[in-house]
Chain A
Amino acid sequence: MIRYLARRAAHGLLMLFGVSVLMFLLFQTAPGDFLSEIKVSTQISPETIATLRAQYGLDQPLPVRYWQWLKSSARGDFGYSFAYNTPASTLLLPRARNTLLLSIPALLISWLIAVPLGVLAAGWKSRWADRLFSGGTSTLLALPDVLIALLALLIALKTGIFPVGGMTSINAQDQNTWAYVRDLGWHMLLPVAAMVIGSLTMILRHVRASVSEVLESSYMRAAEGHGLPRFKLLFGYALPAAANPLISLFGLSVAMLLSVSLLIEVVMSWPGIGPLLLESILARDLFVVIGAVMLSTVFLIAGNLLGDVLLYAFDPRIRRQA
C-alpha cells in the first residue's frame, strides 16, 4: 500500500514540476512585454526594485529565472510580490486556506448528496421519474456558473438573511472563538451552496450513469436471481462495483470544484485564491500569478491522490496490481 501511494505521490510531484516549467515557458513565449507592465508598489525604492530584478533574474534567460524561483520556493517564499512588497507566500497561504474552507465542505456535501441520490436514481423503475431526473439535471447543468454566483449574491442582497460577500464581519476578530466560528459559518453558507449547485448535477449524472451501467452486468442479474433484497443489490453490490469509475470521477470533480470556486470567490468577495489571481493578473504581479496556479494544481493533485487511496481501498483488482 505504501509503495503504491509513494508511486502515485512521486508521479504527482513530477506533474507539479511539469506545471511549473509550463508556467515559466508560457511566460517566456507570450508576446508582449510582461515585465514592463509590472505595476510596482510605490513603497519600494528603485534600488530595491533593481535588486529584486537581479535576484530573481528577471532580465536573465529562462533557466536562470526558473532556478531562482525554485530556490526561493525551497526557502518558502515562492517568489516575490512586487505589488505588495512581500514574499509571495505571505499572500498565497492565507488565501489558500480560505479557498479550502469553501472547497472542502462543498466537495463533501456534493458527494454525500450525489452518491445516494444517484444510486437510487439508477434503480428507479418509473420512466416518468427518469424523465424528470434527466430534464431537471440537464437544465441545472446548463445554467452558467456565473449566473448561479450572481443569483446567490442576489439572494443575499434581497433577503438580508445572509451576509453579503466577504468572509467575516468587521468586528469578528474581537469576539470569542465560538461567535467567530458562527460568523464564519454564516458567511460560508451561500458561497458553499452556490458551489454545490454548480458541481452537484454533474456528479449526480455520472453516478447514475456508472451505476446504471453496472446494473446491466451479468453479476447483478445473478445476484438478483439469488433473491437478494433490493437495497442490498443497489448499495451493497452495484455501488461497490461502480466504485472504480466513480473514484476516477472524484479527481475530476475536485478540478471542477476548484474552477467554480474561482468564480464564486470573485463574485461574492470571498478572499480566496481566485480574487488574488485576478488582481495579480491585472497588476502583472508575476510570481503571485504563478504561485496561485501552482497552489490550485497542488490541491488538484492532492484530490487525485485521495482518489487513488480510495480506489485502493475499494477495488481489490487495484490492490493486486499494486
Chain B
Amino acid sequence: MNRQSSLSRRDPPLRSGFFTRFRLSWAIWFLVGVHAVVVLAGFIAPYSFETQEREHPFAPPTRLHFVDCAGKFHFRPFVYVTKAAENALDQYQQDCSQPAGIEFFPKGDRYTILGTFSSTRHLFGVPAPTNLFLMGTDGFGRDQFSRLLYGGQVSLFAGFVAAAFSAFTGLLLGGIAGMYGGRVDDVAMRFAEIFITIPWFYLLIAVRAFLPLQISPVTAFLLVVSVIGIVGWSRPARLVRGVILSARERNFVLAARGFGASNAYLLRRHLMPLTFRVLLTQMAVLIPQFILAEVILSFLGLGIGEPFPSWGNMLAQAQQYHVLVSYWWMLLPGLAPVPVFLAYHSLAETLQERIKSNF
C-alpha cells in the first residue's frame, strides 16, 4: 500500500505509463534527429565552414521574404543581394532589384560525410552573388549557420565519446572495486576521491594544461575527448561500485550463491543488468556535462582551434566588446546546446524514475 502523506505532491510511481514513455521517446527521437542533422552537416549547410565571404564581415542574418519590394507575393522564399553601406562597414542594405529564390539541391562547396561519401549537392542554397546567411556571419565573413552545424559535430560527439570513455573506465574500476571489496575497494575509492576533491573545471584545465598547446585539430579532438573522459571517471566509478556492493548483499544474489552460482554467473545474470541500467542513466547526465566541458575548453582557447568550428570557439569571438554589443547573432552558438541539454535532462530524469520505481 502506498504510504504517502497528503502533503506529498508526487504521484505514486507509474509502471511505464503513457506519459513516461512519451517523454522517453520524445527525448530519444529529438536527440537522434539532432545527431543525424550534424552528421549530415555537409549536406544541410549551404556553405563550408571555411568559406569566407570577404565582402560581408559581421553580416546580420539574411532576411527571407515572401513579398517583394513591389508588393508581389511569391511562394518560394527569396533573398536580396546585400551590399555594405558606403561609410558604415557593418551596415548592409538590400538591393531590391535582384531577388533570388532559394534553390533546393543546388551545387555548392565540396564536402564529405563521415569521411566516405563526398558530394557537392547541398540541401538548399542561393545562387551567387546573393548570400544566404541564416545566422549571419562572423568577422571573416564565414556563415555562422553552417559553422554551427559543423561545430555541432565536434561538440556533440566530443561529449558523447568522452562520456562513453568515462563510463567504460568507471565500469571497469568501479566494478573491480565492488566485486573484490576490502583493500582493493579502499584504495580505489581513495584514489577516486582525490579526483572528486578538485573542482571539476580546474581539474579539467589543469590536465589540459600539461599537454602540448600547439596541436593539429584531429589530435586536439582526441586529446580533448580523452582528457574529459579521464577526468570524469570518478563519479561513474563510485556509482558502479556502490551498485555492485549493495547488490552483492541482496538476498537474491545470496540465494543464487546458495544454488551454486559462480561469480561469473552472478555478474552476468544479476549484477551487470543492474549496473548497466544505472550506468545508462549516468551517461545521460554525463553527456551534457561533457559537451559543456568541450564548449568551455574551446572557448578558452584550450580545445579545438581554428579554423575548425566548435560551439565554444565560435562563442569566443563574442568576448570582444564591440562584437558583443553590436552583433547579437554571434551569441547564437551559446543557445545551440540548450535544446540538446533539455533533451538529455529529460532522458536522465525519466530513466531515473524507472530505476526507482523498480526497486
Contacts and interface: CB of A to CB of B under 8 A. Distances in A.
**Contact present between A and B (CB < 8 A):** yes
A141 B341 contact: yes
Nearest to B288: A142
B300 A278 contact: yes
Interface in B126-155: none
Interface in A184-224: 212, 215-218, 220-221, 224
B296 A15 contact: no
Given A32-B211, A258-B202, A266-B300, A224 B324 contact: no
A216 B202 contact: no
5 A-B pairs with least C-beta separation = A147-B334, A32-B212, A221-B5, A142-B341, A30-B210
B246 interface: no
B4 interface: yes
B342 A297 contact: no
Interface of B: 3-10, 190-191, 193-195, 197-203, 205-213, 288, 292, 295-296, 299-302, 312, 315, 318-319, 321, 324-325, 331, 334-335, 337-339, 341-342, 345-346
Contact of A23 (B206, B299, B337, B345): B206
B345 A267 contact: no
B325 A157 contact: yes
Contacts of B335: 147
Given A154-B324, A220-B5, A142 B337 contact: yes
Contacts of B334: 144, 146-147, 150
Nearest to A259: B201
A315 interface: no
A59 interface: no
Contacts of A130: 9
Nearest to A32: B212
A130 to B, nearest CB: 6
Interface string A137-181: 011011111110011011001100000100000000000000000
A19 B211 contact: no
A258 B200 CA distance: 9
A80 to B, nearest CB: 17
Nearest to A22: B194
B321 A157 contact: yes
A300 interface: yes
Contacts of B292: 144-145
Given A31-B212, A157-B321, A212-B8, 20 more contacts: A18-B197, A19-B194, A26-B206, A125-B9, A138-B345, A139-B342, A146-B295, A150-B324, A153-B319, A164-B321, A216-B4, A217-B5, A220-B8, A221-B5, A256-B200, A258-B199, A259-B201, A262-B202, A297-B199, A300-B197
